[in-house]
Structure formats: structure tokens, C-alpha cells
Amino acid sequence: MVPDHPAGDGASSIDAPWPLDHQPARGDDVFVFSLFIAGMSPRSRRAVDNLTKLCDRYLAGRCELQVVDIYQQPELAQGEQLVAAPTLIKKLPLPLRRFIGDLSDTDRILMRLDIRRRP
């Protein structure tokens, strides 16, 4: 069982090692996400809602999203080394990124996804 993450900042990110050939996301990149939730807790519902809004607004037509309830499909979560739920994993474009929380800090998530330039 993976409990809701206690952090209240909306989302924290855990980065994969930064590849030397990393390029910021281009306007035509397709983003592939897996969102791991723990049932339909309030934080899980907020994460689904926030990610859906983000995809609709900033990645229209360029987003593939898989939502996995770790209680209903634990086999899909086993290999992902989850430490909390909800957890968003951006699989493509590289580099891999992980976000823990309800994804309510849109500006931070966009910045970490290289969708919006840092201020």
C-alpha cells in the first residue's frame, strides 16, 4: 500500500539523470504519461483533474495518458519503484521525470516538463 504523499506543495519532482544530449521539448513532441493513483482519494481525484486540464490546455493532441489505480492494478505499479501516490511519470520525451502529489502547481510542472521556459 502506498499512502498519499504528505507534502503540501502540489507536486515534487524526482529527476532521472540528465542526459548530455537533452533537448527542451519541441512543439510537436508527444508526451507519454503514466499517473499512478491510490483509489479515488481526494488527492488522486485532484491529480487526475489537474493533469487532464494541463494536457488539454498545453498539450492538446500531443498527450498519451495512462491512469493506473495501484489498488486495482498493482502489477502495473510493481516495476515503477513508487514511493507515494499520486505519482506522475513522464516517459516521453526523454528525460524521464517523476512528480509526486496532486499536480496543482501548474507553473512548476510546466517548467519541469520543459513546456514553459524558466522565468
Q: Domains (ranges, CATH) in the chain?
A: 29-112 (3.40.30.10)
Grid cell, residue 17, equals: 539523470
Mean pLDDT, residues 93-109 taken together: 95
pLDDT (tens digit, 9 = 90+) per residue, 31-74? 999 999 999 999 999 999 999 999 999 999 999 999 999 999 99
Q: Is the predicted pLDDT of residue 119 greater than 60, yes or no?
A: no
Global pTM reads 0.75
In the prediction, which pLDDT does 116 show?
Answer: 64
Q: Which residues of 27-57 are buried (b: 16+ CB within 10 A; e: fewer)?
A: eebebebbbbbbeeeebbebbbebbeebbee
Per DSSP, which regions of the chain are E strands?
A: 12-15, 31-37, 63-69, 87-92, 97-100
Pairwise CA distance, residues 70 & 85, whole Å: 9
State phi, psi for 75 to the nearest 5 degrees.
Answer: -65, -30
